[in-house]
Structure 1
């Protein structure tokens, strides 16, 4: 069974009977439940614990960060208890494109644990490291033998699952350049997401959100998948050429290499932050990730731990061709409260230099500080009522002169590609769109 998108039609195509009713339980996880010393409270806690679906996402140096972060974020939105485990000898992982993540634990510490789903991100050399990790191979094979879900994306279906013999006689998909290798060990198909029994595979960064919501459905049922997909603002036509709406067109200039500042804070939306950083670094822009506060490590909205390059205090000393904010309610509120960041944004706008934001940030940061005056903008649907001018809110990516805004996690790759297009031209944007399978 396969799916080409996770738009409304997708949910009509795939029917999965949920194993249990999670409607009342998905807001809870065992870690958030206090255990009281009495029989009744223990019984309730134990019931919730056994009902929570457990997911393992292994990561390594060279893992594709957007794939990993989307998988973590979306499954946690669904109420799954997601464990991010480093297969390295440290929890800190240097993912692709210089993005740094911190895992929850080491894989070596949880090899005896049982999971309802193990899902592997791609990326190189991360995919090779996962393939060569014997404890992970043993866990995945036992998962398969026991009839539990395994999933992989990008290079991982061919490199890991194929090498381990899990795909014999099965249909599977992967990143295009690995299709020949996949064909040697499976029936290779070009679906964006492919389900064959208890194995789910997908193609790359641009298909990760569809892949992840598919797995929410497999674990928690169709109703939960629809509930999770709505706030993501997913693409209605994945795979089609991305589009942007532009008003008052001006050129975005730079000397040498675009210098781009991406602030992050506790509560920032990790999918949006990583999409922006990932795509712009693929374009060879110089991206500086700056943390608000006193620590380089930031705990994002779905508890993904990201590590910035510098603190905002240091980043403030330099000038930038673009300052662009991810969303996330907590992160946007932190941005709006930062006098230093707001002053940087105001100077950027006064100098007619590009600035942008996605999701909650246009409404919570730009609007109250006068940064949308005379401009058309969009934002996360639930936040658009806070915009003074709501005439163009329906656009997924909107450029008005030196301002660029967008709607949410599901528009973040398009948003990043639009920034690439403004600096490098449409051809470069389309080239990266093809490479990331947007």
Structure 2
């Protein structure tokens, strides 16, 4: 089964994390939410508490097809400062596997040099954090093994783009119809 790990830190943007989780799961992708807080409970930027599937310390990313970073502040900053997340992203990228980030999240990839020479998008004001990337200002940008999204309004298109890469356009087309998102 296709496997996606979504990193969650206190201050994550609700819709940027949970809309992709929902859409990917509806599309038949195995999604594991991963708390970096030391406990399963994670508090969103809008004070919504979410119980992650696993704590970072319990996760094994060896079967990951995609590692995903939601935005939101200070959530993205918390992920950026987490050594384990950084190491997991670098190891995943070294294998040429898929990475994605949305809103402020692409700064994590930028700080690691994982956007060097690529096109990417992010929330306006974070362009300077996309080290080595060409900023596109698009809702969603795909370049090589990296998918970036602009912000909360991009969450559905971002998720459908990821699902298309992982499961194909037929799955996305059927899901869009079922969700009345045409």
Report the TM-score, using the length of structure 2 for normalisation.
Answer: 0.96
Deviations 1:282-331 (A, max 9, x none): xxxxxxxxxxxxxxxxxxxxxxxxxxxxxxxxxxxxxxxxxxxxxxxxxx
Query: What's the RMSD between the two structures over aligned residues?
Result: 1.2
Is it true that 1:180 corresponds to 2:128 in the alignment?
yes
2:139 to 160, 177, 192: 192
- State the alpha-carbon separation in 1 of the partners of residues 109 and 17 from structure 2: 17
Q: Is the 8 A contact 2:8 2:36 kept in 1?
A: yes
**Within 5 Å, which residues of 2 pair with 1:34-73?**
52-73=1-22
Q: Is the 8 A contact 1:56 1:115 kept in 2?
A: yes
- State the alpha-carbon separation in 1 of the partners of residues 171 and 80 from structure 2: 32
Q: Is the 8 A contact 2:10 2:44 kept in 1?
A: yes
- State the alpha-carbon separation in 2 of the partners of residues 198 and 106 from structure 1: 26
Q: Pick 1 or 2: higher relative contact order, CA cutoff 8 A, min separation 6.
A: 2
Is it true that 1:152 corresponds to 2:101 in the alignment?
yes
- State the alpha-carbon separation in 2 of the partners of residues 146 and 65 from structure 1: 29
Q: Is the 8 A contact 1:111 1:139 kept in 2?
A: no
1:97 to 21, 46, 58: 46
Between the two proteins, the alignment pairs up a number of residues equal to 182
- State the alpha-carbon separation in 1 of the partners of residues 33 and 61 from structure 2: 15
- State the alpha-carbon separation in 2 of the partners of residues 198 and 104 from structure 1: 25
Q: Is the 8 A contact 2:111 2:129 kept in 1?
A: no
Is it true that 1:222 corresponds to 2:182 in the alignment?
no
Alpha-carbon shift at residue 144 of structure 1 (Å): 1.1
Deviations 1:358-385 (A, max 9, x none): xxxxxxxxxxxxxxxxxxxxxxxxxxxx
Is it true that 1:165 corresponds to 2:129 in the alignment?
no
Deviations 1:238-294 (A, max 9, x none): xxxxxxxxxxxxxxxxxxxxxxxxxxxxxxxxxxxxxxxxxxxxxxxxxxxxxxxxx
- State the alpha-carbon separation in 2 of the partners of residues 72 and 140 from structure 1: 19
Alpha-carbon shift at residue 112 of structure 1 (Å): 4.8
Report the TM-score, using the length of structure 1 for normalisation.
Answer: 0.41
Q: Is the 8 A contact 2:5 2:61 kept in 1?
A: no
Give the gaps of 5 or more residues in structure 1.
Answer: 1-51, 237-438
Q: Is the 8 A contact 1:122 1:152 kept in 2?
A: yes
**Within 5 Å, which residues of 2 pair with 1:298-309?**
none
Give the gaps of 5 or more residues in structure 2.
Answer: none
2:150 to 196, 203, 210: 203
- Return the index of the structure with the highest Cα Rg: 1
User: Mean alpha-carbon deviation: is it higher for 65-74 or for 134-143?
Assistant: 134-143
